Amino acid sequence: MSAHWIHVVAAWGLVVAGFGGLTLGAALRHRVAARRLRELERSPRRVA
């Protein structure tokens, strides 16, 4: 692989890592919040 291609691969790799990381982060946040919401909605409310 030529030195030029190394720069190309590094640049594209950073973009994939950046978008991939934030996408995974958003998916994880959504999953955690959705699970907690389901738990809260399932748990019985205390009625006076």
Partner 1 sequence: MPWLWGVSLAVLLPAVAWALFLSPADWQQGETVRIMYVHVPMAWLAMSGYAGLAVASVLALVWKHPLADLAARELSPVGAMVTALCLATGSLWGQPMWGTWWAWDARMTSVLVLFFLWVGHAAITRAFEDEERGARMGAILALVGVVNLPIVKFSVDWWNTLHQPASVARLAAPGMHISMLGPLLACAAGFSLLFGTLVLARVRAAVMERRVQALELARAREADRIPPATVPA
Applying CB under 8 A, the residues found at the interface with partner 1 are: 2-5, 7-8, 10-12, 14-15, 18-19, 22-23, 26-27, 29-30, 33-34, 36-37, 40-41, 43, 45-46, 48
- Amino acid 37 reads L
- CB under 8 Å to 1, separation ≥6 — which residues? 9
| Least Cβ distance, residue 21 to partner 1 (angstroms) | 8
Give least dist CB 1 to partner 1, A: 10
The residue type found at 16 is V
Give the separation between CA 28 and CA 25, rounded to whole angstroms: 5
Smallest distance from the beta carbon of 20 to partner 1, in angstroms? 10
